[in-house]
Amino acid sequence: MEFIYIGKITSFHGVKGEIRIKSDFEYKEKAFQIGNTIYIENKPYEIKSYRRHKEYEMITLDGYTDLNSVLFLKNKKVYINKQEIHLDKEELLDQEYIGLTVVAEGIERGIIKNLYKMPFKKKIIVVEYKEKEVLIPFELVEKVDLKNKKLYIQYIEGLF
């Protein structure tokens, strides 16, 4: 199993054991489905209910029916098995971009070292290029070739 980090338990809501999770995971609607199994400290828990409330994912767990039964989970990280997410063929997790070679105008420009999420669902790609880091807006991505481990971007003068 390959575990993917999907959020952190921040607090609870009400007395019925509803858990409040802060998550910036991009496929929340697939991860937080009723019946999915999440993992907290390598222990599996089944999602019994799910809803969004403001900027939080709100869930209850099967077999946990009151606040006192879930208090021990506060501040714990939440993971899911990658296979439970059921991504479409063209959908990629952010971590799958790391290590790809960036190509612009047919020239290999560098390797992706990180991917940052910014406000308003914007992403920035961090590329190592000639011993420095270049920040590239995700909007410049034209094509991803996982087979050859390449990411093609629109070139802008002065970017590299």
How much is the pLDDT for 90? Answer: 78
Q: What is the pLDDT of residue 113?
A: 96
CA nearest to 12, candidates 60, 45, 55: 60
Yes or no: say if 11 and 25 are a contact pair by the CB < 8 Å rule. Answer: no
Give the Cα separation of 4 and 125 in Å (integer): 20
CA angle (147, 150, 155) in 5-degree steps: 150
Mean pLDDT by 10 residues, the chain (160 residues): 95 96 93 97 97 96 96 97 88 91 95 88 90 93 93 90
Q: Report strand pairing: 122-129 vs 77-81.
A: unpaired
What is the predicted pLDDT for the residue at 14?
93
The per-residue pLDDT for 36 is 97
Reported as a single tens digit per residue, the pLDDT across 48-67 is: 999 999 999 999 999 999 99
d(CA 12, CA 48) in angstroms, rounded, equals 15
pLDDT for residue 88: 86
Sign of CA dihedral 119, 136, 159, 156: negative
State the pLDDT at residue 117.
84
Structural domains of the chain in order of their starting residue, each with its CATH number:
3-84 (2.40.30.60), 94-153 (2.30.30.240)
pLDDT in the model for residue 87: 87
State how far the Cα of 86 lies from the Cα of 25, in Å rounded to an integer.
14
